[in-house]
Structure 1
Amino acid sequence: MNDTLRIRDMTPDDCRRVSEIRINGWRTAYRGLIPQSYLDALDVDADTARRRARLAQGDGVVNLVADRDGEVVGWAAHGPYRDGEALTEDAELYAIYVSPQVLGAGAGRALLAESTRRCTAAGHERMLLWVLRENTRARRFYERAGFHADGTEETFEADGAAVPEVRYAADLPLPG
């Protein structure tokens, strides 16, 4: 094994592995931050079906995977920033998840770098993202990459609990 990491576009064949990574990521990163009942109810089969359908319909989302020696170890998705139902000129990182077994090994940084590179190439001047307020590991990751909390906060509901999120922003291209 030569441990080569490659960032590439997601294919339909990647959808199940991406769903596994996403759900395992939620269950690992959000334990204690989101009700356990919500995390326990996440379903890989249902998530895979939704992911395949969205990929097939071409919804404008760019889905990338981190592939290490033929195994998908991470996933990121980006596209236009969603402000309610309206899209803006800004880009948004919708999601980035890495298999818990490879956290800290560079897949997340590589996915973020490719997403920001593609958003810059598409003419976006700024990228926004949402992160759970209490997810200090993720917040540190984004801050090291050049993002900063911009003062905007929202909550979403998960099994009756309000879960606060903080918006982060960065001008593109990112430094470094």
Structure 2
Amino acid sequence: MIGSRVGVSAMRQVARTPNAAFFSQNLPRLALGMQARTVSTSKLSEADAQALLATQRQSRPVAPHLQIYDKSQTWFGGSIWTRITGSIFSGGLYTFSAAYLVAPLFGWHLESASIAAAFGSLPYAVKGGLKFLVAWPFVFHGINGMRHLTWDFAKGFSKPAIKTWGTAIWGVSIVSGLYLGFFF
């Protein structure tokens, strides 16, 4: 009740005050609050402009090179592999979708029955290996996605926890991928 009365009284006050009066009374405050920066320009020759640009480049910060990073933290870290597996998923989906659309034009047979028959004729080890190559990214992406969700709640940021969970996620995802590839 009080909230609605405050809103109504504010609306009445705004309706009574014309816009011109509002802006004219606040104009000095707005002018004082604005900052102005004087800019001086000068005409430079092409050689002088290139020399000035070269001196400005020297004072820019240099991005760190990739060799300064610890490979165990960056290359085998879960975050980069989550991005890699996600890119593999999206790239594979787009590639298969485009191939499926143009298959009739080239005489390719990408129907489900053709793919199942071709896959069924492969040896057991090849089938298991191909299934592992498909299953492992899904498992890893899913499990590591759960870890990222726990990070969204600001949990598990200590270095030992990051290392322990990283190792556990790699182990569980590889074992699960092998199980799905060869026994499922």
The verdict on a shared fold, with TM-score over 0.5 as the criterion, is no
TM-score relative to the length of structure 1: 0.23
Higher strand content, 1 or 2: 1
Give the TM-score of the pair, scaled to structure 2: 0.23
- Which structure has the larger Rg? 2
Q: Which structure is higher in helix share?
A: 2
